[in-house]
Chains A and B, each alone.
Chain A
């Protein structure tokens, strides 16, 4: 059954590209089918498992399973965002095959990566998803698409190779590819940890390897931006939690200070960069880079104290929440550009008058991204900050703050920064007098609203009842 989750989008993509089946319809059916299967699999996580041996020496297996709650959460995230993505964006005439088949390929790759319980396929499926991402940005991107696409290709290509080096070194130490055999490596922990941090970090846009992200998301067609920022990017965080934390805990501890500096740069530096953005799409792209800092903070807290049982659920919950909210933002921004023809904040204004439902939905996702209670991101961020102070008290540490606590205090300023750029962006786009670009904007149709409403509902449900995710992570 888990194999179906990978095969359905894959087969649909091949059928669309080569055999000319109706592109949009089959993509929607495949995505909906996948969500249904994912829900079913999540309800009975122990019964579904698949194992195929592809190579005897070294022993490599195509193992798909819901390894633990983290896999289940990521599987749900992938299925939800995929369904929203196939409804998003406007496909240029005559490119339907390319558009829908590459979206489905990315979905299949991401699904495979999160379900694999074997380092080999975990890595391989991610690469499968990357290539259509590169190509689509170069083919159908906005603005300076070629330069942007080449930049993301080189960054993520290099990141993947550094990652591969780290994974191979780890596998060589451990002697097995299977997740259940992973244990702390005997030697070279520091080298493995650095390679994995840089490799996974590049894929998640950890400072200073982040500069590909904002232009790529601004340029990418809506479904691609949604799938990459929402789902595929989480692969790096998932990998750090799943592989790096197990294989090289001491090595990661060795580089903890470096990681903390990098994540603070993500939150504060990139946060300030975000404030200065003049376009909505680059603002959201940068904000996505910035929010990765919080998840890294949770990971850093877990590295500093392996007993920290809040950090992991906090990271996973925030990954889920961010995935949904960033996908929703890119969906809505694409609609704004579709109606007004521009995303320059200075050329927009008063859109709430002509497009009230879009204004409401955008306001909702902006609030989610800032961290308004009641929406999923709040639950995640609060837990991250609590995790930062986990195990610390006046008595135990003589009143001295540790590195994680100081980082947490600084990171709290990120919430203020988010509020500044999100509210400013919202005000300039939706409030004030109508301007030339916005006065003739027509309202969204129901089908255009559907993906955003769907994602908003997920944000609300998880925000009001975060236990729906957290119970999986026990």
Chain B
């Protein structure tokens, strides 16, 4: 199986389910299960994809080789895309009640069919982003994902919050697309190539180009556009509103898959320039300033939040700060590892939020009041997830931050950025533990037990155990990233 076949199969699966949905009558949420099962098969097929990373021999056909590559990094981000999409689809199945209520006048599932199919299309885009080799294929894949998200974010059309989120995302997303295309144009004009793999070589042999403002201008535009995708300051302003308004599974999707793919592209685009003397130092300073600002904004703003969904939005900004910090010091494996652990923790948090939020009909932190008494096992799972998000050792979250800090220290990070980063960890400790405070120390508002549906239960058990296992034994995950 050629690796690029997987993207085609994924798109095919998406179209097939769309047709299937149109011509059959049945519970629409079943589609979510079919879709998840289909993606699971694709995930299994990924194990047999050739050429295996690290093996020699070029077997990507000529018509594709300018656009597509398949290496360990691509494989890792494809796994992230597939796993996240599967989790999001499963979460959507348990979220269908809310979805029905806000998507149709009759409050039944007649309008929800596409909701279970579109994530597959987005997943294909995310997988392609992981393999993008040239600026063109990167742009096309990115837009495929973003446009799908425009639809998904605003899917609950009878909910004002969802509509507001959709409009904000559309306008700011379109703006960032403009920056991206403009940046690509300037970079192409300066380097005369779209192919990222030959850029560094070209620039090193044409050193007169390096100091030209045209190239730096193009890079700055790209940085702004990709900063928007990953939620880095000062392009992070859309995140809280969009995350809060979007349907919870889509928020999880945005928060994990979209961010991970954004970082994959960010690293692919900028790592050639990180190797070019004369640009790398400028780029590093820019990245460090962005990282510092993102860390400060995300963590300080998160402290005062009382809505858990919004808190997670700010926390996702905060995590982006650590990720950029890791990349600024040139440790791409640290970034990938961080994203792998971030996937486990964030999906877990959204699974819990989706259940608790539905039953309390509120995303406020107060919805978690007394959870420790009402459902001790769910509360324990949330405790582990919150500890992981805060970066407590023996959970997966610790290693992510640990690698970033080690990379920073090894590469002679200066004091201000280290102080900001450690202060951010401390702030994170504070606001994630606020959730624990609500769960254990506050009395429950009512006595209704929280029922956890089977699908969510299984997913949560898997995610929580994975957080602990990676937290104690991270070697396998590191091997997967290293190829």
Residues of A within 8 A of B (CB): 17-18, 53-58, 62, 97-98, 120, 123-125, 127-128, 131, 134-135, 138-139, 145-146, 149-150, 153-154, 157-158, 161-162, 164-165, 168-169, 171-172
Contacts and interface: CB of A to CB of B under 8 A. Distances in A.
Contacts of B402: 168
Contacts of B430: 154, 157
Contact of B394 (A127, A138, A171): A127
B98 interface: no
B4 interface: no
Nearest to B477: A55
B454 interface: no
Interface stretch (B58-66, B283-291, B376-384): B376-384
Contact of A55 (B377, B394, B422, B478): B478
Contacts of B399: 55
Contacts, number: 77
A172 B408 CA distance: 10
A161 B422 contact: yes
A169 B409 contact: yes
B369 to A, nearest CB: 12
B441 A17 contact: no
B406 A18 contact: no
Contacts of B380: 17-18
Contacts of A145: 441
A56 B475 contact: yes
Interface stretch (B89-97, B245-253, B346-354, B432-440): B432-440
Contacts of A123: 393
Contacts of B474: 54-55
Contact of B426 (A55, A120, A149, A161): A161
B2 to A, nearest CB: 32
B392 A131 contact: yes
B372 A172 contact: no
Interface string B465-483: 0000000111100100000
A149 B392 contact: no
A215 B196 CA distance: 60
B475 A55 contact: yes
A190 B97 CA distance: 60
Contact of B440 (A56, A124, A139, A165): A139
6 contacts: A124-B393, A124-B394, A124-B398, A138-B437, A158-B426, A161-B425
Nearest to B424: A161
Interface size class, chain B: 20 to 34
Given A124-B393, A127-B392, A127-B394, A53 B429 contact: no
B76 interface: no
A53 B475 contact: yes
Given A127-B393, A139-B372, A158-B426, 6 more contacts: A53-B475, A135-B383, A145-B441, A149-B437, A153-B433, A168-B409
Contacts of A139: 372, 440-441
B478 A150 contact: no
Nearest to A112: B394
Nearest to A173: B409
A164 B398 CA distance: 11
Contacts of A54: 472-475
Contacts of A56: 475, 478
Contacts of B440: 135, 138-139
B478 to A, nearest CB: 7
Contacts of A128: 393-394
B387 interface: yes
A162 B392 CA distance: 14
A149 B472 contact: no
Q: Which of B376, B393, B398, B436 has the most CB of A within 10 A?
A: B393
A140 to B, nearest CB: 10
A97 B376 contact: yes
Main secondary structure on A side of the interface with B: helix
A161 B429 CA distance: 9
B405 interface: yes
B429 to A, nearest CB: 4
A169 B419 CA distance: 12
Contact of A146 (B394, B398, B437): B437
Residue among B398, B410, B430, B441 facing the most chain A CB atoms (10 A cut-off):
B441
Contacts of A17: 376, 380
State the 8 A-B residue pairs at the shortest beta-carbon distance, nearest first: A124-B393, A138-B441, A172-B409, A157-B429, A161-B426, A124-B394, A127-B393, A146-B441
Nearest to A52: B473
B478 A58 contact: no
A164 B401 CA distance: 11
Contacts of B422: 161-162, 164-165
Nearest to A139: B440
Contact of A58 (B376, B398, B406, B473): B406
Nearest to B412: A172
A175 to B, nearest CB: 10
Nearest to B430: A154
A97 B372 CA distance: 12
A135 B405 contact: no
A57 B405 CA distance: 14
Contacts of B437: 138, 146, 149-150
Given A149-B441, A157-B430, A131 B472 contact: no
Interface in B443-483: 472-475, 478
Contacts of B410: 172
B418 to A, nearest CB: 8
A157 B475 contact: no
B478 A57 contact: yes
A181 to B, nearest CB: 16
Q: Which of B405, B433, B436 has the most CB of A within 10 A?
A: B433
Given A55-B474, A131-B392, A161-B422, A172 B406 contact: yes
A154 B430 CA distance: 7
Contacts of B398: 124
Given A128-B393, A131-B387, A168 B441 contact: no
Contacts of B372: 139
Contacts of B392: 127, 131
B441 A157 contact: no
Contacts of B425: 161, 164
Contacts of B478: 55-57
Contacts of A57: 478
A146 B392 CA distance: 21
Nearest to B384: A131
Interface string B244-263: 00000000000000000000
A171 B452 CA distance: 44
Contacts of A168: 402, 405-406, 409
B413 to A, nearest CB: 10
A220 to B, nearest CB: 14
A53 B429 CA distance: 28
Nearest to B474: A55
Contacts of A62: 472
A226 B387 CA distance: 24
Nearest to A158: B426
A170 to B, nearest CB: 10
A197 B399 CA distance: 24
Contacts of A169: 409
Contacts of B376: 17, 97-98
Contacts of B409: 168-169, 172
Contacts of A134: 433, 436
A97 B406 CA distance: 39
